[in-house]
Amino acid sequence: MPVASARSAVVGFGKQTAEGTALTVPKFETPMGGGFVGPERSTAELPWTNETQDSVGDYVERVGGTADLTLPVLPVSAGAILEGIFGSRTTSGAAAPYTHVFTPADTLPWMTLFYAQPGGNYWTVADSKLASWALSWSAGSPLEASVSGMGKTTTRAATKWGAPGMVEGVDPFFTMINATFKFDSGTTPATTTVRNIAAGSVSMNRNLDARQTDGLNYQYMAEQKRDIEVSLDDVVFESNDLINTIFTGSASGTSMSGTVVYGSFSVTFVGSDQAAATTRSLKVELPRVLWTIDQVPSADPGGATLTYTVTGRASKPTSGASVTATLVNGSAGTVY
Amino acid sequence: MPLVAKADVNEIYTGGQTFQFTDGTRQVSQAEADALARYVANGGPAKVEIEEQKTKKKGES
């Protein structure tokens, strides 16, 4: 049991077979970087008065569950989170290593989220959907995933859940070290390898529409438009080609362009054990990206290195997915 | 007429359902065929074909 005075905690998660069919034990249990899974209850003051000047009382509007987590990106359990936010998984391979390709789906899976709260409460949030996900990287550091979600049914237990499908340890983890970045400003898919991106993130927001109707919980939870964005921070460019393409439509352009030029992006991460990408890797591809640079850089008499923050918004290409995540690991698709 | 889905992968999860393809094929309902069509429309990487299952009539070889 976690110590009541410490903020240490562990999280579990897994996909349900259907709405209303909560998992009793997690498919995955992993360490976490912060955040929580737990109850959410909104109350309000009764909108009435009487002969006194006191409040007459309150009522409960809604109960449910919420999740806001930072997770390590581990070789197997990362697939459960990717499946939860992308919605489709395609698995191939007759034996390890297996390749799992995650692509967007209109309907996300129902999930059960588990949380061993500091202090010894064990929360389960069933009939949940993931609402947002962001994969972030920084030079020399492990990858992290920020995940949010919401659920319909929250329960508390005084004892921990049973044996999970997999307790995934922290070694190996996916890391920024020896990542391969490909980045093009005017062509798609990305083919130009670059080595000047120090940090960044890829994110997806499903803009979940959760509605309360005739019950105390949310009765309706539905996916809406996918927002897929990429942010590249602290980028040092070796030429002005990207900037020129964004503003003028081509590397050699001279007049401001009235039409959009789409570029592309991909990144492949390997494990902290530096095993070959064919054994263990995570690749994220955005084949059609509108790149944006807020402004051309200001002069700096101090002579500091010229760095940019570049952001991009992914959209649906003529064929293929707007975003694809490819996870190579030693587990078959049945683990999910 | 029954529908058959053909795919060039082992397994597809989409639309809340898991489709395992033994020998590359499996029978699907119309709703499952629709889910696989949405998967393809969203850029799913597997090559998926839906066909009506051919049934042999008595006397056909």
pLDDT at A32: 94
Strand residue runs (E) in chain A = 10-15, 28-30, 34-45, 58-72, 87-92, 98-104, 111-116, 122-138, 144-157, 166-167, 174-184, 193-194, 197-205, 209-211, 220-222, 227-235, 263-271, 281-293, 308-314, 324-329
pTM above 0.90, yes or no: yes
Residue entry with tokens 């709405």 = A19
Report ipTM for this prediction. 0.89
- Whether A90 sits inside 8 A of B11 (CB atoms) is yes
Average pLDDT over residues B50-58: 74
pLDDT at A117: 86
Evaluate if residue B61 carries a pLDDT over 60.
no
Burial label, A144 (beta-carbon count in 10 A; 0-12, 13-18, 19+): buried
- Whether B9 sits inside 8 A of A91 (CB atoms) is yes
Measured CA to CA, the distance from residue A330 to residue A228 in angstroms comes to: 28
Quote the tokens at residue A193: 């390898």
Q: Minimal Cα distance from B16: which residue of A?
A: A109
Q: Minimal Cα distance from B15: which residue of A?
A: A107
Interface subset of B 27-56, CB within 8 angstroms of A: 38-39, 42-46
Nearest Cβ partner of A101 from B8, B18, B45? B45
3-state secondary structure of B32: helix
Question: Is B25's Cβ below 8 Å from some Cβ in A?
Answer: no
Quote the tokens at residue A105: 């789906």
Chain centroid, CA A39 distance in Å? 21
pLDDT at A128: 98
**Which residues make beta-bridge pairs with B48?**
B7
Q: Each residue's pLDDT tens digit in chain A (336 positions)?
A: 555 656 778 999 999 999 999 999 999 999 999 999 999 999 999 999 999 999 999 999 999 999 999 999 999 999 999 999 999 999 999 899 999 999 999 999 999 999 998 888 899 999 999 999 999 999 999 999 999 999 999 999 999 999 999 999 999 999 999 999 998 888 888 888 888 899 999 999 999 999 999 999 999 999 999 999 999 998 888 888 888 998 898 999 999 999 998 999 999 999 999 999 999 999 999 999 999 987 777 888 998 888 889 999 999 999 999 999 999 999 999 999
pLDDT at A133: 98
pLDDT at A334: 95
Evaluate if residue B1 carries a pLDDT over 80.
no
A268, A281 Cβ separation under 8 angstroms: yes
Question: Is B16's Cβ below 8 Å from some Cβ in A?
Answer: yes
Residues from chain A contacting residue B42 (CB–CB below 8 Å): 88, 103-106, 321
A32, A70 Cβ separation under 8 angstroms: yes
Phi, psi of A83 (to 5 degrees): -65, -35
Asked whether the CA dihedral A28, A32, A35, A38 is positive or negative, the reply is: positive
Measured CA to CA, the distance from residue A185 to residue A175 in angstroms comes to: 25
Q: Minimal Cα distance from B12: which residue of A?
A: A90
Measured CA to CA, the distance from residue A98 to residue A225 in angstroms comes to: 30
Residues from chain A contacting residue B12 (CB–CB below 8 Å): 88-91
CB pairs under 8 A between A and B: 73
Give the residue from A335, A10, A21, A36 showing the smallest Cα distance to A166.
A335
pLDDT at A2: 52
Question: Is B13's Cβ below 8 Å from some Cβ in A?
Answer: yes
Quote the tokens at residue A184: 């093009």
Question: Is B2's Cβ below 8 Å from some Cβ in A?
Answer: no
pLDDT at B58: 60
pLDDT at B57: 59
Report DSSP state, residue A296: P
A152, A253 Cβ separation under 8 angstroms: no
A281-293 and B3-7 strand pairing: unpaired
